[in-house]
Amino acid sequence: MDTILFEIDKIRQHQKDQLQSIHDKLDAQEQAKAREKYLVQMLRTVANPTYDEQGKQPCHEGTRAEILAEILDWRNDKSNESQRFLWLTGDPGAGKSAITASIARACKDDKTLWAQFFINRNNAETTNPRLYFPSIARQLIDRSTHTDVEIAIVTALQNQPSLMDGISSVQASQLFVNALEIVCRSDLDKPVVIVIDGLDETDQSKLADTAKIFSQIFTSISSRNAKVIIWTLLFRQPRQATPGPRNQAPEVKERTFHSHRYTLRNV
């Protein structure tokens, strides 16, 4: 009799556990739906800031092989000496967008591309810096197989809805730096690549503030598998309005292109 009662208790406990599991799954699904609904309402983004949608064509087959190989080698380097940011500059006509489009495509194909934002002066929405970090955050959420990034972004927006008012150092910290660090920690053995092209095409009235905010994030990323590529033109305007990794030596590798040649230096 005791044995029979024991078996009955086991069956009841099993059924109870199954019901709890179903309840937990349903609860998790409801929470996920609630988070997505909140993000749709709060996280304004550019729908398709990708190289193909913004008309940025990759390099022709077999061209720029040397620089493309060097950038991919840097991407794969997760040593302590490797910088987390690659800052690319060049003259007009140096083929900057073709190179970044090629890198984005290569990283997309080998599944190391987590986010891309190609700024296009002919698409005003892409030149609004208020949308840069939210758009990247949305891509990180969509690309991630875990809910950690999504929960972090939702929590940040709930705690401070004004993050969406405009680009700021706090917005950069919450929607870019923190989200990127979470993604990087999810798989330390694989590069996490983010490509930002045409920073110089930012709305000119907001360019100086945007440049300052970008310069502040260079020391904020600690994960060695974070690989952020930013490309901008060489500027003919005051240096304080020029996006660039000024005095950020340990964290940034810089490349300067002049037409069909390029110079290399660590910054």
The model's pLDDT over 120-178, given as tens digits with 9 standing for 90+, comes to 999 999 999 999 999 999 999 999 998 999 999 999 999 999 999 999 999 999 999 99
Q: Taking residues 205-227, report their average pLDDT.
A: 92
* Local confidence band at 265 (pLDDT 50, 70, 90 cut-offs): very low
Rounded CA separation 86/228 (Å) = 6
252-258/261-266 β-pairing: antiparallel
Q: Pick 97 or 95 by higher pLDDT.
A: 97
What's residue 173's pLDDT?
97
The three-state secondary structure class of 247 is coil
What's residue 245's pLDDT?
58
15-48 per-position pLDDT tens digit: 565 555 554 565 789 999 999 999 999 999 999 9
Residue 11 to residues 17, 66, 79, 253: CA-CA distances in angstroms?
10, 66, 53, 62
Q: Taking residues 247-256, report their average pLDDT.
A: 62
68-84 per-position pLDDT tens digit: 999 999 999 988 888 99
